[in-house]
Amino acid sequence: MDINEIKEYLPHRYPFLLVDRVQELDLENKRIRAYKNVSVNEPFFNGHFPQHPIMPGVLIIEAMAQAAGLLGFKMMGVKPADGTLYYFVGSDKLRFRQPVVPGDQLQLEASYVSDRRGIWKFACRATVDGKEACSAEIICAERKI
């Protein structure tokens, strides 16, 4: 999926659209692999931290949640235009392992774990150069709008 198709499935826009491309979407095994190119021009680097810029952890979690949301939308065969949204509602087993800095390509992986009564759970990882930067179980709520 290129950025134009991603924008059909995610309601986010700059500066909060945090998935640049989907490299692999495997609906049979219910997993997705995507990436975010981390540029020094990102607005959050002006204040986090100017002399030692690192990507805020909450935005890494959001990027993983967006990848998981793409997987959920594709699994259900719906788009936001159809009246469905996914809200990020929680995380379990969250761990940060290394900082993400300008120039990194943040690889995002999400695998479906379960869904019950509109609450979806995904196992997610964010890596840079094959090294894990963050991992979590991401919980999303499906809502009709």
Q: Which positions are annotated as active-site residues?
A: 48
Say if residues 9 and 79 touch (Cβ distance below 8 Å).
Answer: yes
The residue type of 41 is: N
Say if residues 38 and 107 touch (Cβ distance below 8 Å).
Answer: no
Q: Which residue has the tokens 């997610």?
A: 124
Measuring CA to CA, how many Å separate 41 from each of 45, 54, 92, 120? 7, 12, 31, 33
- Length of the chain (residues): 145
